[in-house]
Structure 1
Amino acid sequence: MNNLETSLQELSSKIDFSGTVMFQNGDGLVETASFGYANRSDRLKNNQETRFGIASGCKLFTAIAICQLVEEERLTFDTRLKDCLDIEFPNFSEEITIHHLLTHTSGIPDYFDEDVMNDFEELWMQSPMYHIRSAQDFLPMFQNEQMKSTPGESVHYNNAGYIVLGLIVEQASGMEFTEYVQKNIFEVAGMSDSGYFSFDALPSNTALGYIDLPEGSWKTNIYSLPVKGGSDGGAYVTVEDMTKLWKALFGRLLLNEEILNKLFTPHAQEDEENYFGYGIWIKKQDQQIYKYHVMGYDPGVSFHSAYYPASQTIAVVCSNKSSGAYDIMKAIEGRL
């Protein structure tokens, strides 16, 4: 048992954590730890190579894709939605820009509005999840709704904005969104085990997502999420591949320095310490950037990953349960 596994053992047992953790310090020393089962029925354990769904954690991939297209001068951050997407949004403001969409300040309606719905599974009563395989499939869920606020006026976390960004990537690149990310992000970063996999065609060593019910039973999340993820969430990664993504970003493999600085700029403030960059959260402490981080939660999925600039440390926590990643992440940060 390594140091990381030993330090997390008690907490992992207490919260019944299921998943895999990777920690890499600034000297390149890597530690990993795995707990629980990727497949409970067959008692297959999670391991370092297990692929996990990361829900909204992959909004960062969407932002990187947009930034690459800006770098290639196919778009700008100030390009208006109406000028870069040939899709009708009859009630949307004409002033919405790509910057607004990236920073959750567009004011457009969300297909999953947490002010109205408590349970993500409620979505699929009207639009069965087995029909949702592309960004286009989400459009009927918000396309004709009214604006929630004026663009740039306020910050409101928004999944639909990232669906729209995915459609912009498709139109600007001429490629299907998931294909674009696979070729221009995963392959470039060396993320050979990551992808947008369909529930009905999962590759080997992919963790099933589990929802624990109050009376002690459980179910998988196969009827709780779209069949295939896309620009607002739902990719699968290994902890090692997510570590490679951070390295590729900071190593300028994916974006040049100017555009990378835009991605990492705190553009919109959510509260006293937390800001939105492009597709990424930024946490400040004492006016300094403490961490750049991403997170994702879905039924049967919890995920946190961060880069800590002061120590050049990377942490990744992937879980195939609805909660647990946050507690493990806090424990890791206690070691820093």
Structure 2
Amino acid sequence: MDNTNKLNYLKEKQEELHFSGAYYAKRGNEILQGSSGFANRSEKIANEPDTRFAIASGCKIFTAVSICMLVESGKISFDSKLKDCLDIDLPNFDGDITIHHLLTHTSGVPDYFNEEIMDDFELLWKSRPMYTIRSPKDFLPMIQYEEMQGSINGSFQYNNSGYILLGLIVEQVTKCNFTAFVEEHIFQKAGMMDSGYFEMDRLPGRTALGYIEEPDGNWKTNIYSLPVKGGPDGGAYVTVEDMAKFWEALMSHRLLSEDMTQKLLAPREVVYEEDNIYYGYCGYMELDDEKKIVKYIQMGYDPGVNFRAVYYPGTQSIIVVCSNESEGAFELLKEIETIL
């Protein structure tokens, strides 16, 4: 199938899936990109390949890279204890929690959004207005005096609070706002000039609003469903091409040394043993039966936000799909994988 037929095929699939968002795929010299749906439904402003989309937890890898930068500079280590890195009272937290535990979701700290007991992210903001959440410290009242929800070194249990704490460590060590640190030391270095941690009440141009489908089939925006500004656990905005630029910068060692990049990308925790899915400091990854990495997997989900990306180290191929609805990115990514 030539490039034109592939693009036509993906156009048909976007229509079938009622997909709203954009995609970018690259393998060797071949590039596929496209978009569909609306960035703004009320004004009928179409999504474009260079539209900026929120990616929810898909940006946890930026937090991990930030931590790796600080480890590489000798300011902290992966074995540094949380209690030694933060001047914040966390009276009920285990004193042996390390940065490694936080990065790998094995710290057992109380998660402000525990998906095992809560499935509606919007419920978090019933008593705590989302417009007050603009920095990592704003999450502290939700976790600071809570009891541990698990034991350290236990099995993998996805945990957003762990990444909030990592962001607070970045701020204390660097004396710099977390989002400003990422924008300067990752986005600018990688050439991600369209990306940033934008506030939902101050969005720049070419930024898609997130949309949630209601039971009656109507749509509403997600402005009352999420923190007004993203941070260490999620919420950055990127273009699909910028996300590909990030992986290119990472794998060419423009962000971290070769040795530190390998530490970032190494498999560490078993997530789904039957599917050979592991977790490392960089996020999820799929291994083959010989424990060789097939692909790195990024995913993000929030109300009105759906993000998927995969990077194949063997072929240096990248696929990025961003949607400004709650579903669709995974389905389109699988179609792109099939033809790429």
TM-score, L = length of structure 1: 0.98
Instruction: Decide whether the 8 Å contact of 2:210 with 2:305 is kept in 1.
Output: yes
Instruction: Give the CA deviation at 1:289.
Output: 1.1
Instruction: Decide whether the 8 Å contact of 1:2 with 1:31 is kept in 2.
Output: no
SS at match of 2:229: coil
Once the two structures are overlaid, the 10-residue window that deviates more, 194-203 or 282-291, is: 282-291
Question: Are the structure 2 counterparts of residues 143 and 191 from structure 1 closer, same or farther at C-alpha, using a change threshold of 3 Å?
Answer: same
Q: Which residue of 2 aligns with 1:177?
A: 178
Instruction: Decide whether the 8 Å contact of 2:23 with 2:319 is kept in 1.
Output: yes
Q: Which residue of 2 aligns with 1:6?
A: 8
Structure 1 segment 114-129 matched on structure 2, within 5 A: 114-129=115-130
1:304 aligns with 2:308: yes
Q: Which residue of 2 aligns with 1:319?
A: 323
Question: Are the structure 2 counterparts of residues 299 and 4 from structure 1 closer, same or farther at C-alpha, using a change threshold of 3 Å?
Answer: farther
Q: Which residue of 1 aligns with 2:282?
A: 279
Structure 1 segment 19-98 matched on structure 2, within 5 A: 19-25=21-27, 27-98=28-99
Q: Which amino acid aligns with 1:12?
A: Q
Once the two structures are overlaid, the 10-residue window that deviates more, 275-284 or 218-227, is: 275-284
Instruction: Give the CA deviation at 1:28.
Output: 2.9
Q: Which residue of 1 aligns with 2:234?
A: 233
Q: Which residue of 1 aligns with 2:296?
A: 292
Structure 1 distance, partners of 2:106, 2:6, is 38
Instruction: Give the CA deviation at 1:9.
Output: 2.6
Q: Which residue of 2 aligns with 1:332?
A: 336
Deviation readout 1:193-249 (Å, 9 max, x if unpaired): 000000111000100000011211010000000010000000000011101000000
Q: Which amino acid aligns with 1:259?
A: M
Structure 2 distance, partners of 1:143, 1:10, is 49
Instruction: Give the CA deviation at 1:4.
Output: 4.0
Instruction: Give the CA deviation at 1:286.
Output: 2.5
Structure 1 distance, partners of 2:264, 2:97, is 18
Deviation readout 1:264-286 (Å, 9 max, x if unpaired): 01111111211111131111122
Instruction: Decide whether the 8 Å contact of 1:107 with 1:154 is kept in 2.
Output: no
Question: Are the structure 2 counterparts of residues 4 and 68 from structure 1 closer, same or farther at C-alpha, using a change threshold of 3 Å?
Answer: farther
Instruction: Give the CA deviation at 1:33.
Output: 1.0
SS at match of 2:272: coil
Instruction: Decide whether the 8 Å contact of 1:103 with 1:279 is kept in 2.
Output: no
Instruction: Decide whether the 8 Å contact of 2:6 with 2:339 is kept in 1.
Output: no
Deviation readout 1:12-36 (Å, 9 max, x if unpaired): 22221100000000x2322101010
Structure 2 distance, partners of 1:214, 1:4, is 35
Instruction: Decide whether the 8 Å contact of 1:4 with 1:33 is kept in 2.
Output: no
The alignment of Structure 1 onto Structure 2 pairs a total of residues equal to 335
Q: Which amino acid aligns with 1:20?
A: A
Unaligned segments of structure 1, at least 5 residues: none
Structure 2 distance, partners of 1:97, 1:153, is 13
Structure 2 distance, partners of 1:2, 1:108, is 50
Structure 2 distance, partners of 1:4, 1:333, is 11
TM-score, L = length of structure 2: 0.96
SS at match of 2:117: coil
Instruction: Give the CA deviation at 1:51.
Output: 0.3
Question: Are the structure 2 counterparts of residues 91 and 256 from structure 1 closer, same or farther at C-alpha, using a change threshold of 3 Å?
Answer: same
Q: Which amino acid aligns with 1:96?
A: I
Instruction: Decide whether the 8 Å contact of 2:303 with 2:325 is kept in 1.
Output: yes
SS at match of 2:311: strand
Percent of pairs with identical residues: 55
Instruction: Decide whether the 8 Å contact of 1:211 with 1:300 is kept in 2.
Output: yes
